[in-house]
Structure 1
Amino acid sequence: MFFLLRWTVYFFSFYVFIMLSFFALHTYLPGAPPILGFLARTMAAYLSLIACAAYGTIASAILRLFGLHFTYGQWTTAKAFKNLCTYTLGVRFEILDNGEQILNSTRPAVFIVNHQTELDVLLLGWIWPKNCSVTAKKSLRNIPFLGWFMTLSGTIFIDRVDRSAAMKAFEGAAKAMKEKRQSVVIFPEGTRSYSLEPMLLPFKKGAFHLAVQGGVDIVPVVAENYSAVLSPKLKRFNAGTIRVKGRMRPRDDDLFNRVEGLTVETVLDPIPTKGLTPADVDQLTRDTRENMLDVLTAMAQDPGSRAFRNQKKES
Protein backbone atom coordinates (compact mmCIF):
# COMPACT_ATOMS: atom_id res chain seq x y z
CA MET A 1 0.00 0.00 0.00
CA PHE A 2 2.79 2.41 0.93
CA PHE A 3 4.65 1.46 -2.27
CA LEU A 4 1.59 2.28 -4.39
CA LEU A 5 1.03 5.58 -2.57
CA ARG A 6 4.67 6.57 -3.02
CA TRP A 7 4.64 5.95 -6.78
CA THR A 8 1.33 7.77 -7.12
CA VAL A 9 2.91 10.81 -5.47
CA TYR A 10 5.94 10.50 -7.78
CA PHE A 11 3.69 10.29 -10.86
CA PHE A 12 1.59 13.34 -10.00
CA SER A 13 4.66 15.35 -8.99
CA PHE A 14 6.27 14.63 -12.35
CA TYR A 15 2.95 15.38 -14.10
CA VAL A 16 2.63 18.77 -12.41
CA PHE A 17 6.28 19.59 -13.15
CA ILE A 18 5.82 18.89 -16.88
CA MET A 19 2.54 20.83 -16.96
CA LEU A 20 4.06 23.90 -15.30
CA SER A 21 7.07 23.67 -17.64
CA PHE A 22 4.76 23.79 -20.66
CA PHE A 23 2.94 26.79 -19.18
CA ALA A 24 6.21 28.59 -18.50
CA LEU A 25 7.63 27.94 -21.97
CA HIS A 26 4.34 28.95 -23.58
CA THR A 27 4.21 32.19 -21.57
CA TYR A 28 7.82 33.36 -21.52
CA LEU A 29 9.55 31.81 -24.54
CA PRO A 30 9.45 34.20 -27.53
CA GLY A 31 7.92 32.53 -30.56
CA ALA A 32 6.85 29.46 -28.57
CA PRO A 33 4.75 27.04 -30.66
CA PRO A 34 1.01 27.15 -29.84
CA ILE A 35 1.00 23.43 -29.08
CA LEU A 36 2.78 24.17 -25.77
CA GLY A 37 -0.27 26.09 -24.57
CA PHE A 38 -2.53 23.31 -25.84
CA LEU A 39 -0.58 20.65 -23.95
CA ALA A 40 -0.35 22.75 -20.78
CA ARG A 41 -4.08 23.48 -20.56
CA THR A 42 -5.03 19.94 -21.60
CA MET A 43 -2.91 18.53 -18.79
CA ALA A 44 -4.38 21.09 -16.38
CA ALA A 45 -7.90 20.12 -17.47
CA TYR A 46 -7.33 16.41 -16.82
CA LEU A 47 -5.71 17.09 -13.46
CA SER A 48 -8.63 19.33 -12.47
CA LEU A 49 -11.10 16.66 -13.60
CA ILE A 50 -9.36 13.95 -11.54
CA ALA A 51 -9.25 16.18 -8.46
CA CYS A 52 -12.94 17.08 -8.72
CA ALA A 53 -13.97 13.47 -9.48
CA ALA A 54 -12.17 12.38 -6.31
CA TYR A 55 -13.89 15.15 -4.36
CA GLY A 56 -17.23 14.24 -5.95
CA THR A 57 -16.83 10.57 -4.99
CA ILE A 58 -16.28 11.44 -1.34
CA ALA A 59 -18.97 14.14 -1.29
CA SER A 60 -21.55 11.90 -2.99
CA ALA A 61 -20.82 9.01 -0.63
CA ILE A 62 -21.39 11.28 2.36
CA LEU A 63 -24.50 12.88 0.87
CA ARG A 64 -25.86 9.43 0.04
CA LEU A 65 -25.93 8.62 3.76
CA PHE A 66 -28.39 11.49 4.22
CA GLY A 67 -30.36 10.85 1.02
CA LEU A 68 -29.13 14.09 -0.54
CA HIS A 69 -26.96 12.71 -3.35
CA PHE A 70 -29.61 13.36 -6.02
CA THR A 71 -29.99 16.96 -4.84
CA TYR A 72 -26.41 18.03 -4.27
CA GLY A 73 -24.00 15.29 -5.46
CA GLN A 74 -23.46 16.41 -9.03
CA TRP A 75 -24.23 20.06 -8.27
CA THR A 76 -21.43 20.48 -5.72
CA THR A 77 -18.94 18.63 -7.94
CA ALA A 78 -19.88 20.69 -11.00
CA LYS A 79 -19.43 23.93 -9.08
CA ALA A 80 -16.09 22.77 -7.70
CA PHE A 81 -14.90 22.01 -11.25
CA LYS A 82 -16.14 25.39 -12.45
CA ASN A 83 -14.29 27.29 -9.71
CA LEU A 84 -11.08 25.28 -10.05
CA CYS A 85 -10.91 25.63 -13.85
CA THR A 86 -11.39 29.37 -13.63
CA TYR A 87 -7.82 29.42 -12.32
CA THR A 88 -6.23 26.35 -13.94
CA LEU A 89 -7.58 26.96 -17.46
CA GLY A 90 -8.62 30.61 -17.50
CA VAL A 91 -11.85 29.66 -19.29
CA ARG A 92 -15.21 31.11 -18.29
CA PHE A 93 -18.76 30.76 -19.59
CA GLU A 94 -20.98 33.83 -19.57
CA ILE A 95 -24.69 33.04 -19.23
CA LEU A 96 -26.55 35.84 -20.99
CA ASP A 97 -29.70 37.70 -20.02
CA ASN A 98 -31.95 35.88 -17.50
CA GLY A 99 -30.49 32.44 -18.16
CA GLU A 100 -29.38 31.94 -14.55
CA GLN A 101 -32.90 32.55 -13.27
CA ILE A 102 -34.44 30.03 -15.66
CA LEU A 103 -31.78 27.41 -14.95
CA ASN A 104 -32.42 27.61 -11.23
CA SER A 105 -36.20 27.98 -11.28
CA THR A 106 -37.31 25.43 -13.88
CA ARG A 107 -37.74 22.06 -12.20
CA PRO A 108 -38.00 19.34 -13.18
CA ALA A 109 -36.85 19.75 -16.76
CA VAL A 110 -34.81 18.18 -19.53
CA PHE A 111 -31.89 20.50 -20.28
CA ILE A 112 -30.49 19.93 -23.78
CA VAL A 113 -27.07 21.31 -24.65
CA ASN A 114 -25.06 21.45 -27.87
CA HIS A 115 -21.94 19.27 -27.73
CA GLN A 116 -18.67 20.62 -29.16
CA THR A 117 -15.63 19.25 -27.29
CA GLU A 118 -14.53 17.81 -23.94
CA LEU A 119 -14.70 21.38 -22.62
CA ASP A 120 -18.47 20.95 -22.40
CA VAL A 121 -17.85 19.25 -19.05
CA LEU A 122 -16.80 22.69 -17.80
CA LEU A 123 -19.88 24.24 -19.41
CA LEU A 124 -21.98 21.92 -17.24
CA GLY A 125 -20.22 23.34 -14.19
CA TRP A 126 -21.52 26.79 -15.08
CA ILE A 127 -25.11 25.84 -15.86
CA TRP A 128 -25.72 23.00 -13.41
CA PRO A 129 -28.89 23.40 -11.29
CA LYS A 130 -29.63 21.54 -8.06
CA ASN A 131 -31.67 18.32 -8.21
CA CYS A 132 -30.19 17.41 -11.56
CA SER A 133 -28.45 14.41 -13.08
CA VAL A 134 -26.67 13.76 -16.33
CA THR A 135 -26.94 10.93 -18.84
CA ALA A 136 -23.71 9.22 -19.88
CA LYS A 137 -22.60 6.22 -21.90
CA LYS A 138 -22.43 3.04 -19.84
CA SER A 139 -18.68 2.54 -20.39
CA LEU A 140 -17.86 5.60 -18.23
CA ARG A 141 -19.07 3.69 -15.16
CA ASN A 142 -15.82 1.68 -15.11
CA ILE A 143 -13.42 4.65 -15.05
CA PRO A 144 -11.76 5.11 -11.61
CA PHE A 145 -12.95 8.15 -9.63
CA LEU A 146 -15.06 9.56 -12.47
CA GLY A 147 -17.16 6.42 -12.81
CA TRP A 148 -17.37 5.99 -9.03
CA PHE A 149 -18.53 9.56 -8.60
CA MET A 150 -21.10 9.29 -11.39
CA THR A 151 -22.53 6.08 -9.95
CA LEU A 152 -22.74 7.42 -6.38
CA SER A 153 -24.32 10.71 -7.48
CA GLY A 154 -27.14 9.18 -9.53
CA THR A 155 -25.95 9.41 -13.14
CA ILE A 156 -28.27 7.79 -15.69
CA PHE A 157 -26.11 5.40 -17.71
CA ILE A 158 -27.24 4.65 -21.26
CA ASP A 159 -26.31 1.49 -23.15
CA ARG A 160 -25.93 2.75 -26.71
CA VAL A 161 -25.71 -0.78 -28.09
CA ASP A 162 -28.77 -2.27 -26.40
CA ARG A 163 -31.78 -0.15 -27.32
CA SER A 164 -34.12 -1.94 -24.89
CA ALA A 165 -31.71 -1.29 -22.00
CA ALA A 166 -31.46 2.36 -23.03
CA MET A 167 -35.24 2.72 -23.05
CA LYS A 168 -35.44 1.19 -19.56
CA ALA A 169 -32.90 3.74 -18.36
CA PHE A 170 -35.02 6.56 -19.77
CA GLU A 171 -38.12 5.06 -18.12
CA GLY A 172 -36.29 5.13 -14.79
CA ALA A 173 -35.29 8.74 -15.42
CA ALA A 174 -38.89 9.71 -16.20
CA LYS A 175 -40.00 8.08 -12.94
CA ALA A 176 -37.33 9.98 -10.96
CA MET A 177 -38.41 13.23 -12.59
CA LYS A 178 -41.98 12.70 -11.48
CA GLU A 179 -41.33 11.34 -7.99
CA LYS A 180 -38.20 13.30 -6.98
CA ARG A 181 -38.63 16.34 -9.23
CA GLN A 182 -35.17 15.59 -10.59
CA SER A 183 -33.99 17.26 -13.80
CA VAL A 184 -31.75 15.70 -16.43
CA VAL A 185 -29.04 17.16 -18.69
CA ILE A 186 -28.61 15.57 -22.11
CA PHE A 187 -26.43 16.26 -25.16
CA PRO A 188 -28.92 15.35 -27.92
CA GLU A 189 -26.21 15.17 -30.59
CA GLY A 190 -24.86 12.12 -28.79
CA THR A 191 -21.22 12.91 -29.55
CA ARG A 192 -18.88 15.88 -29.87
CA SER A 193 -18.81 17.76 -33.20
CA TYR A 194 -15.32 19.35 -32.92
CA SER A 195 -16.53 21.82 -35.54
CA LEU A 196 -14.63 24.99 -36.40
CA GLU A 197 -17.87 26.65 -37.52
CA PRO A 198 -21.31 26.99 -35.84
CA MET A 199 -23.18 23.76 -36.56
CA LEU A 200 -25.13 20.95 -34.92
CA LEU A 201 -25.02 17.23 -35.58
CA PRO A 202 -28.36 15.43 -36.03
CA PHE A 203 -30.29 15.15 -32.77
CA LYS A 204 -31.16 11.82 -31.20
CA LYS A 205 -34.73 11.62 -29.94
CA GLY A 206 -34.17 10.15 -26.47
CA ALA A 207 -34.21 13.51 -24.67
CA PHE A 208 -37.48 14.49 -26.32
CA HIS A 209 -39.16 11.14 -25.61
CA LEU A 210 -38.07 11.54 -21.99
CA ALA A 211 -39.52 15.06 -21.73
CA VAL A 212 -42.84 14.02 -23.28
CA GLN A 213 -43.02 10.87 -21.18
CA GLY A 214 -42.33 12.83 -18.00
CA GLY A 215 -44.53 15.76 -19.05
CA VAL A 216 -41.74 18.22 -18.20
CA ASP A 217 -40.32 21.28 -19.91
CA ILE A 218 -37.38 21.19 -22.31
CA VAL A 219 -34.80 23.92 -21.68
CA PRO A 220 -32.42 24.48 -24.63
CA VAL A 221 -28.93 25.72 -23.75
CA VAL A 222 -26.72 26.98 -26.58
CA ALA A 223 -23.01 27.70 -26.19
CA GLU A 224 -21.52 29.67 -29.06
CA ASN A 225 -18.92 27.96 -31.24
CA TYR A 226 -15.74 28.22 -29.19
CA SER A 227 -13.14 26.80 -31.57
CA ALA A 228 -11.11 29.99 -30.99
CA VAL A 229 -10.74 28.87 -27.37
CA LEU A 230 -10.41 25.09 -27.83
CA SER A 231 -9.88 23.20 -31.06
CA PRO A 232 -8.31 19.74 -30.78
CA LYS A 233 -8.08 19.66 -34.57
CA LEU A 234 -5.83 22.74 -34.60
CA LYS A 235 -4.10 21.90 -31.29
CA ARG A 236 -5.37 25.21 -29.89
CA PHE A 237 -6.36 25.81 -26.26
CA ASN A 238 -6.59 29.45 -25.12
CA ALA A 239 -8.06 31.26 -22.17
CA GLY A 240 -11.29 33.07 -22.96
CA THR A 241 -14.95 33.71 -22.18
CA ILE A 242 -17.65 31.71 -23.98
CA ARG A 243 -21.21 33.00 -24.19
CA VAL A 244 -24.22 30.80 -23.45
CA LYS A 245 -27.84 31.50 -24.33
CA GLY A 246 -30.93 29.93 -25.84
CA ARG A 247 -33.28 32.41 -27.52
CA MET A 248 -35.97 30.50 -29.40
CA ARG A 249 -37.36 31.97 -32.63
CA PRO A 250 -40.12 29.67 -33.86
CA ARG A 251 -41.39 29.79 -37.40
CA ASP A 252 -45.08 30.29 -38.12
CA ASP A 253 -45.67 26.63 -38.87
CA ASP A 254 -43.64 24.88 -36.19
CA LEU A 255 -44.81 22.82 -33.27
CA PHE A 256 -43.99 25.46 -30.67
CA ASN A 257 -46.88 27.62 -31.83
CA ARG A 258 -49.27 24.78 -30.98
CA VAL A 259 -48.11 24.55 -27.36
CA GLU A 260 -50.26 26.76 -25.17
CA GLY A 261 -48.53 29.35 -23.06
CA LEU A 262 -45.08 29.22 -24.65
CA THR A 263 -43.02 32.38 -24.38
CA VAL A 264 -40.31 32.48 -27.02
CA GLU A 265 -38.53 35.80 -26.68
CA THR A 266 -36.50 35.25 -23.50
CA VAL A 267 -33.14 33.53 -23.16
CA LEU A 268 -33.38 29.86 -22.18
CA ASP A 269 -37.18 29.88 -22.14
CA PRO A 270 -38.56 26.41 -21.37
CA ILE A 271 -40.53 24.53 -24.03
CA PRO A 272 -43.62 22.95 -22.45
CA THR A 273 -44.46 19.38 -23.46
CA LYS A 274 -47.80 19.17 -21.67
CA GLY A 275 -50.39 17.77 -24.06
CA LEU A 276 -47.80 16.35 -26.46
CA THR A 277 -47.67 12.67 -27.37
CA PRO A 278 -44.97 10.35 -28.77
CA ALA A 279 -46.34 11.19 -32.21
CA ASP A 280 -45.13 14.78 -31.72
CA VAL A 281 -41.55 13.82 -30.85
CA ASP A 282 -40.21 13.88 -34.42
CA GLN A 283 -41.39 17.41 -35.06
CA LEU A 284 -40.43 18.55 -31.56
CA THR A 285 -36.90 17.25 -32.14
CA ARG A 286 -36.65 18.83 -35.58
CA ASP A 287 -38.02 22.23 -34.53
CA THR A 288 -35.84 22.41 -31.41
CA ARG A 289 -32.69 21.61 -33.38
CA GLU A 290 -33.47 24.16 -36.09
CA ASN A 291 -34.13 26.88 -33.52
CA MET A 292 -30.96 26.08 -31.59
CA LEU A 293 -29.01 26.18 -34.86
CA ASP A 294 -30.53 29.60 -35.62
CA VAL A 295 -29.27 30.80 -32.23
CA LEU A 296 -25.83 29.32 -32.76
CA THR A 297 -25.52 30.96 -36.18
CA ALA A 298 -26.77 34.32 -34.93
CA MET A 299 -24.29 34.32 -32.04
CA ALA A 300 -21.42 33.84 -34.48
CA GLN A 301 -22.58 36.83 -36.52
CA ASP A 302 -23.21 39.39 -33.79
CA PRO A 303 -20.49 41.84 -32.62
CA GLY A 304 -19.92 39.96 -29.37
CA SER A 305 -18.25 37.09 -31.20
CA ARG A 306 -15.40 39.37 -32.31
CA ALA A 307 -13.94 39.15 -28.82
CA PHE A 308 -12.48 35.79 -29.79
CA ARG A 309 -11.03 37.00 -33.09
CA ASN A 310 -9.43 40.04 -31.51
CA GLN A 311 -7.87 38.29 -28.54
CA LYS A 312 -4.23 37.26 -28.72
CA LYS A 313 -3.54 34.07 -30.57
CA GLU A 314 -2.04 32.66 -27.42
CA SER A 315 -3.10 33.81 -23.94
Structure 2
Amino acid sequence: MSLLLIFSIIIAILAVAYLTNIRVKYYIKCVVFIFNFLFVSLGSVIIILISKLTPYPQDGSVIRPVFSKYWQIISGFDSIEIEGDEYLDADGKGTRPCVFMYNHQSSLDMLMICSFMPKKCILLCKKSLKKYPLLGQYLQITGAYFIDRKNSASAIDTMKEAAQYIKKNKLAVSIAPEGTRSNFKTPDLLPFKKGGFHLAIQAQCPIVPIVIPNYPTAGVYDASKFNYNGGKLKIKVLPPIPVDGLNADDVNDLVEKVRNQMLDTIKELSEENRLMNLPKKSE
Protein backbone atom coordinates (compact mmCIF):
# COMPACT_ATOMS: atom_id res chain seq x y z
CA MET A 1 0.00 0.00 0.00
CA SER A 2 1.52 3.30 -1.06
CA LEU A 3 2.09 6.15 1.33
CA LEU A 4 -0.27 8.29 -0.73
CA LEU A 5 -3.10 5.79 -0.27
CA ILE A 6 -2.43 5.54 3.48
CA PHE A 7 -2.39 9.33 3.75
CA SER A 8 -5.66 9.57 1.81
CA ILE A 9 -7.34 7.03 4.10
CA ILE A 10 -6.20 8.94 7.20
CA ILE A 11 -7.50 12.21 5.79
CA ALA A 12 -10.83 10.56 4.92
CA ILE A 13 -11.18 9.12 8.44
CA LEU A 14 -10.35 12.49 10.02
CA ALA A 15 -12.84 14.25 7.72
CA VAL A 16 -15.64 11.88 8.70
CA ALA A 17 -14.74 12.16 12.39
CA TYR A 18 -14.62 15.96 12.09
CA LEU A 19 -18.15 16.04 10.69
CA THR A 20 -19.65 13.50 13.09
CA ASN A 21 -17.80 13.79 16.42
CA ILE A 22 -17.83 17.04 18.41
CA ARG A 23 -14.66 16.21 20.36
CA VAL A 24 -12.65 15.35 17.25
CA LYS A 25 -13.87 18.56 15.61
CA TYR A 26 -12.83 20.57 18.67
CA TYR A 27 -9.34 19.05 18.90
CA ILE A 28 -8.68 19.38 15.17
CA LYS A 29 -9.63 23.06 15.30
CA CYS A 30 -7.37 23.59 18.31
CA VAL A 31 -4.41 21.89 16.59
CA VAL A 32 -4.95 24.02 13.48
CA PHE A 33 -5.11 27.17 15.60
CA ILE A 34 -1.92 26.32 17.50
CA PHE A 35 -0.04 25.50 14.28
CA ASN A 36 -1.15 28.75 12.69
CA PHE A 37 -0.41 30.68 15.88
CA LEU A 38 3.21 29.53 15.60
CA PHE A 39 3.22 30.33 11.89
CA VAL A 40 1.94 33.86 12.54
CA SER A 41 4.49 34.33 15.33
CA LEU A 42 7.33 33.22 13.06
CA GLY A 43 6.14 35.51 10.28
CA SER A 44 5.86 38.37 12.77
CA VAL A 45 9.39 37.82 14.01
CA ILE A 46 10.75 37.96 10.47
CA ILE A 47 8.80 41.09 9.53
CA ILE A 48 9.68 42.88 12.75
CA LEU A 49 13.37 42.09 12.27
CA ILE A 50 13.14 43.72 8.85
CA SER A 51 11.23 46.69 10.29
CA LYS A 52 14.08 47.25 12.76
CA LEU A 53 15.64 49.14 9.88
CA THR A 54 12.80 51.71 10.10
CA PRO A 55 12.66 54.66 12.52
CA TYR A 56 9.87 52.96 14.51
CA PRO A 57 10.73 49.28 15.06
CA GLN A 58 7.79 48.85 17.45
CA ASP A 59 5.31 50.02 14.82
CA GLY A 60 3.04 46.99 14.49
CA SER A 61 1.27 48.47 11.48
CA VAL A 62 3.67 46.44 9.33
CA ILE A 63 2.30 43.19 10.74
CA ARG A 64 -1.30 43.77 11.69
CA PRO A 65 -2.87 44.42 8.28
CA VAL A 66 -1.13 41.31 6.97
CA PHE A 67 -2.27 38.93 9.69
CA SER A 68 -5.55 40.36 11.03
CA LYS A 69 -7.75 38.84 8.33
CA TYR A 70 -5.70 35.65 8.36
CA TRP A 71 -6.19 35.39 12.13
CA GLN A 72 -9.95 35.76 11.71
CA ILE A 73 -10.04 32.88 9.20
CA ILE A 74 -7.94 30.44 11.22
CA SER A 75 -9.80 31.28 14.43
CA GLY A 76 -13.11 30.30 12.88
CA PHE A 77 -14.90 33.66 13.12
CA ASP A 78 -17.22 34.76 10.33
CA SER A 79 -16.80 38.41 11.22
CA ILE A 80 -15.29 40.59 13.93
CA GLU A 81 -16.82 43.98 14.67
CA ILE A 82 -15.09 46.63 16.77
CA GLU A 83 -17.57 49.02 18.36
CA GLY A 84 -15.93 52.24 19.51
CA ASP A 85 -12.85 51.81 17.32
CA GLU A 86 -12.56 55.60 17.20
CA TYR A 87 -11.14 55.39 20.74
CA LEU A 88 -8.23 53.29 19.49
CA ASP A 89 -6.87 56.15 17.41
CA ALA A 90 -7.97 59.35 19.14
CA ASP A 91 -5.53 61.54 17.23
CA GLY A 92 -5.87 59.65 13.95
CA LYS A 93 -2.23 58.54 14.10
CA GLY A 94 -2.11 56.05 16.96
CA THR A 95 0.68 58.02 18.62
CA ARG A 96 -1.03 59.30 21.74
CA PRO A 97 0.26 57.89 25.03
CA CYS A 98 -2.46 55.71 26.60
CA VAL A 99 -2.93 52.38 28.35
CA PHE A 100 -5.25 49.86 26.69
CA MET A 101 -6.72 47.33 29.13
CA TYR A 102 -8.50 44.21 27.89
CA ASN A 103 -10.06 41.17 29.56
CA HIS A 104 -8.15 37.93 29.01
CA GLN A 105 -10.00 34.62 28.61
CA SER A 106 -7.89 32.25 26.51
CA SER A 107 -5.13 32.01 23.94
CA LEU A 108 -7.62 33.23 21.34
CA ASP A 109 -7.20 36.72 22.75
CA MET A 110 -3.53 37.08 21.87
CA LEU A 111 -3.74 37.31 18.09
CA MET A 112 -7.12 39.04 18.29
CA ILE A 113 -5.77 41.96 20.30
CA CYS A 114 -2.72 42.25 18.04
CA SER A 115 -4.97 42.33 14.98
CA PHE A 116 -6.60 45.69 15.76
CA MET A 117 -4.23 47.54 18.08
CA PRO A 118 -3.19 50.92 16.62
CA LYS A 119 0.27 51.84 15.41
CA LYS A 120 3.14 52.20 17.85
CA CYS A 121 1.56 50.11 20.60
CA ILE A 122 3.72 47.91 22.82
CA LEU A 123 2.73 45.19 25.27
CA LEU A 124 3.15 45.02 29.03
CA CYS A 125 3.16 41.36 30.04
CA LYS A 126 4.34 38.82 32.58
CA LYS A 127 8.01 37.81 32.47
CA SER A 128 7.21 34.11 31.98
CA LEU A 129 6.07 34.82 28.39
CA LYS A 130 9.74 35.28 27.46
CA LYS A 131 10.07 31.48 27.60
CA TYR A 132 7.39 30.83 24.96
CA PRO A 133 8.91 29.80 21.59
CA LEU A 134 8.54 32.48 18.90
CA LEU A 135 6.03 34.47 20.97
CA GLY A 136 8.75 35.35 23.46
CA GLN A 137 11.10 36.46 20.69
CA TYR A 138 8.32 38.45 19.02
CA LEU A 139 7.50 40.29 22.25
CA GLN A 140 11.14 41.11 22.97
CA ILE A 141 11.97 42.57 19.57
CA THR A 142 8.77 44.64 19.51
CA GLY A 143 9.79 46.46 22.67
CA ALA A 144 7.47 44.73 25.14
CA TYR A 145 7.99 45.35 28.84
CA PHE A 146 8.05 42.30 31.11
CA ILE A 147 6.86 42.38 34.72
CA ASP A 148 8.42 40.10 37.31
CA ARG A 149 5.49 39.47 39.65
CA LYS A 150 7.72 37.65 42.13
CA ASN A 151 9.88 40.74 42.60
CA SER A 152 7.84 43.79 43.59
CA ALA A 153 10.85 46.13 43.53
CA SER A 154 11.68 45.05 39.99
CA ALA A 155 8.04 45.45 38.92
CA ILE A 156 7.94 49.00 40.28
CA ASP A 157 11.15 49.91 38.43
CA THR A 158 9.70 48.42 35.23
CA MET A 159 6.58 50.57 35.56
CA LYS A 160 8.62 53.74 36.06
CA GLU A 161 10.82 52.95 33.06
CA ALA A 162 7.81 52.07 30.88
CA ALA A 163 6.01 55.29 31.89
CA GLN A 164 8.97 57.41 30.83
CA TYR A 165 9.41 55.43 27.62
CA ILE A 166 5.80 55.72 26.38
CA LYS A 167 5.68 59.44 27.22
CA LYS A 168 8.94 60.18 25.44
CA ASN A 169 8.03 58.16 22.32
CA LYS A 170 4.28 58.89 22.38
CA LEU A 171 3.43 55.20 22.47
CA ALA A 172 0.39 53.26 23.60
CA VAL A 173 0.74 50.19 25.78
CA SER A 174 -1.70 47.29 26.12
CA ILE A 175 -2.13 45.08 29.17
CA ALA A 176 -4.48 42.42 30.53
CA PRO A 177 -5.14 43.67 34.09
CA GLU A 178 -6.45 40.26 35.21
CA GLY A 179 -2.89 39.03 34.87
CA THR A 180 -3.82 35.59 33.52
CA ARG A 181 -6.52 33.76 31.57
CA SER A 182 -9.86 33.71 33.37
CA ASN A 183 -11.52 30.78 31.54
CA PHE A 184 -14.90 31.83 32.96
CA LYS A 185 -18.00 30.06 31.65
CA THR A 186 -20.16 33.13 32.35
CA PRO A 187 -19.45 36.87 31.95
CA ASP A 188 -17.09 37.81 34.78
CA LEU A 189 -13.63 39.20 35.51
CA LEU A 190 -10.81 38.16 37.80
CA PRO A 191 -9.52 40.72 40.32
CA PHE A 192 -7.37 43.32 38.57
CA LYS A 193 -3.64 43.67 39.15
CA LYS A 194 -2.60 47.26 39.87
CA GLY A 195 0.54 47.51 37.74
CA GLY A 196 -1.12 48.96 34.64
CA PHE A 197 -2.94 51.55 36.74
CA HIS A 198 0.28 52.72 38.38
CA LEU A 199 1.76 52.97 34.89
CA ALA A 200 -1.13 55.13 33.64
CA ILE A 201 -0.87 57.45 36.64
CA GLN A 202 2.92 57.76 36.39
CA ALA A 203 2.67 58.54 32.66
CA GLN A 204 -0.43 60.70 33.24
CA CYS A 205 -2.13 59.11 30.24
CA PRO A 206 -5.72 57.84 29.91
CA ILE A 207 -6.89 54.25 30.28
CA VAL A 208 -8.87 52.85 27.35
CA PRO A 209 -10.81 49.66 28.28
CA ILE A 210 -11.36 46.99 25.62
CA VAL A 211 -14.05 44.40 26.35
CA ILE A 212 -14.17 40.97 24.68
CA PRO A 213 -17.45 39.05 25.20
CA ASN A 214 -17.47 35.87 27.25
CA TYR A 215 -16.81 33.13 24.68
CA PRO A 216 -19.07 30.38 26.15
CA THR A 217 -21.99 32.80 26.57
CA ALA A 218 -21.50 34.08 23.04
CA GLY A 219 -21.52 30.48 21.81
CA VAL A 220 -18.23 30.75 19.91
CA TYR A 221 -15.84 28.78 22.16
CA ASP A 222 -16.21 26.60 25.26
CA ALA A 223 -13.44 24.10 26.06
CA SER A 224 -15.51 22.39 28.77
CA LYS A 225 -18.11 21.40 26.15
CA PHE A 226 -15.62 20.85 23.30
CA ASN A 227 -17.33 23.69 21.49
CA TYR A 228 -15.31 25.65 18.96
CA ASN A 229 -18.09 26.83 16.68
CA GLY A 230 -16.73 30.27 15.91
CA GLY A 231 -19.26 32.67 14.46
CA LYS A 232 -19.73 36.42 14.76
CA LEU A 233 -17.85 38.39 17.38
CA LYS A 234 -18.42 41.94 18.55
CA ILE A 235 -15.80 43.67 20.71
CA LYS A 236 -16.34 47.01 22.43
CA VAL A 237 -13.81 49.78 23.08
CA LEU A 238 -14.94 52.10 25.88
CA PRO A 239 -14.26 55.85 26.06
CA PRO A 240 -10.90 56.86 27.57
CA ILE A 241 -10.82 57.25 31.35
CA PRO A 242 -8.63 60.25 32.31
CA VAL A 243 -6.14 60.05 35.18
CA ASP A 244 -5.13 63.72 35.22
CA GLY A 245 -3.99 64.78 38.67
CA LEU A 246 -4.30 61.29 40.21
CA ASN A 247 -1.51 59.77 42.29
CA ALA A 248 -0.68 56.43 43.91
CA ASP A 249 -3.28 57.01 46.63
CA ASP A 250 -6.01 56.96 43.96
CA VAL A 251 -5.09 53.59 42.47
CA ASN A 252 -7.66 51.50 44.36
CA ASP A 253 -10.54 53.78 43.35
CA LEU A 254 -9.31 53.81 39.75
CA VAL A 255 -9.09 50.00 39.66
CA GLU A 256 -12.66 49.71 40.96
CA LYS A 257 -13.95 52.26 38.45
CA VAL A 258 -12.36 50.60 35.42
CA ARG A 259 -13.26 47.06 36.51
CA ASN A 260 -16.90 47.98 37.17
CA GLN A 261 -17.22 49.57 33.73
CA MET A 262 -15.70 46.53 32.04
CA LEU A 263 -17.79 44.09 34.11
CA ASP A 264 -21.05 45.84 33.24
CA THR A 265 -20.03 45.92 29.59
CA ILE A 266 -18.98 42.25 29.35
CA LYS A 267 -22.38 41.18 30.72
CA GLU A 268 -24.30 43.25 28.17
CA LEU A 269 -21.91 42.49 25.32
CA SER A 270 -21.90 38.73 25.92
CA GLU A 271 -25.67 38.56 25.74
CA GLU A 272 -25.65 40.66 22.57
CA ASN A 273 -23.12 38.26 21.03
CA ARG A 274 -25.20 35.25 22.13
CA LEU A 275 -28.22 36.61 20.28
CA MET A 276 -26.10 37.30 17.19
CA ASN A 277 -24.96 33.68 17.06
CA LEU A 278 -28.31 31.99 17.61
CA PRO A 279 -29.26 29.62 14.75
CA LYS A 280 -31.56 31.35 12.33
CA LYS A 281 -35.07 29.95 12.32
CA SER A 282 -36.27 28.71 8.98
CA GLU A 283 -39.29 30.59 7.72
- Which letter maps to 1:71? D
Q: How many angstroms does 1:103 deviate by?
A: 0.5
Partner of 2:140: 151
Query: Which SS does the other structure have where 1:105 is aligned?
Result: coil
Q: How many angstroms does 1:233 deviate by?
A: 2.3
Which residue, 81, 89, 92 being the options, matches 1:104?
Answer: 89
Query: Which SS does the other structure have where 2:58 is aligned?
Result: helix
2:28 counterpart of 1:40: yes
Q: Deviations over 1:230-288 (max 9, x none)?
A: 12222221121211114xxxxxxxxxxxxxxxxxxxxx210111111111110010111
Partner of 2:207: 218
2:191 counterpart of 1:202: yes
Query: Which SS does the other structure have where 2:209 is aligned?
Result: strand
Structure 2 residues not aligned, in runs of 5+: 1-6
Partner of 2:45: 57
- Which letter maps to 2:72? T
Q: How many angstroms does 1:212 deviate by?
A: 0.6
- Which letter maps to 1:275? G
Partner of 2:123: 134
- Which letter maps to 2:183? Y
- Which letter maps to 1:48? N
TM-score, normalised relative to structure 1: 0.78
Which residue, 60, 63, 68 being the options, matches 1:77?
Answer: 63
Q: Is contact 1:19-1:40 (8 Å) kept?
A: no
Q: Is contact 2:71-2:112 (8 Å) kept?
A: no
Percentage of matched positions with identical amino acids? 32
Q: Is contact 2:68-2:116 (8 Å) kept?
A: no
Q: Is contact 2:130-2:139 (8 Å) kept?
A: yes
Q: Deviations over 1:58-88 (max 9, x none)?
A: 111122233321223xx43344432212222
Q: 1:114 to 1:151 in 2, by over 3 A?
A: same
TM-score, normalised relative to structure 2: 0.86
Q: Is contact 1:20-1:40 (8 Å) kept?
A: no
Partner of 2:223: 232
Which residue, 68, 74, 90 being the options, matches 2:76?
Answer: 90
CA distance in 2, matches of 1:71, 1:271: 24
Q: Deviations over 1:147-186 (max 9, x none)?
A: 1111111111111211111222211210111100111111
Structure 1 residues not aligned, in runs of 5+: 1-15, 247-267
Query: Which SS does the other structure have where 2:138 is aligned?
Result: helix
Q: 1:22 to 1:233 in 2, by over 3 A?
A: farther
CA distance in 1, matches of 2:141, 2:227: 34
Q: Is contact 2:67-2:115 (8 Å) kept?
A: no
RMSD: 2.5
Q: 1:53 to 1:280 in 2, by over 3 A?
A: same
Query: Which SS does the other structure have where 2:107 is aligned?
Result: coil
CA distance in 2, matches of 1:22, 1:189: 41
